[in-house]
Amino acid sequence: MTEKYRFDLLTDTRTCYRYLQAGLGVIVLTTLIGLVVLVFPELLPVYDVLVMPALFVGLGLLLFGVGTHLHIMHLNVVRMMDEDQE
């Protein structure tokens, strides 16, 4: 029997949670660095340069983690529908 779908592409569901944790970690770290900059205003130019790329990376990791999770859920639904038809 030929497989219609490949279910082994994303077998590890912990992977999407790692991306979510990494994205949230980058955003929280950027926020904490912003609080440090409030104490040391001479670091403001460096923070202004780094804050936007760091937030984009954090949000990108969050979105990739959510998309991976939704993809895994969709594959599980397709697998259950295939099992019901057999």
- Provide the pLDDT for residue 1: 42
Query: What's the one-letter identity of residue 46?
Result: V
**Local structure of residue 80 (DSSP, 8 states):** H
List the structure tokens of 53.
């790329």
**Local structure of residue 10 (DSSP, 8 states):** T
pLDDT per residue over 11-63, tens digit each?
566 777 889 999 999 999 999 999 999 999 998 999 999 999 999 999 999 99
The pTM for the full model equals 0.73
List the structure tokens of 55.
């937030």
pLDDT band at 8 (very low <50, low <70, confident <90, very high): low
Is 6 strand, coil or helix? Answer: coil
Residue 20 burial (CB count, 10 A): 18
Share of the chain above pLDDT 90, in %: 49
Dist. CA 27–CA 33, nearest whole Å: 10
Mean pLDDT of the chain: 83
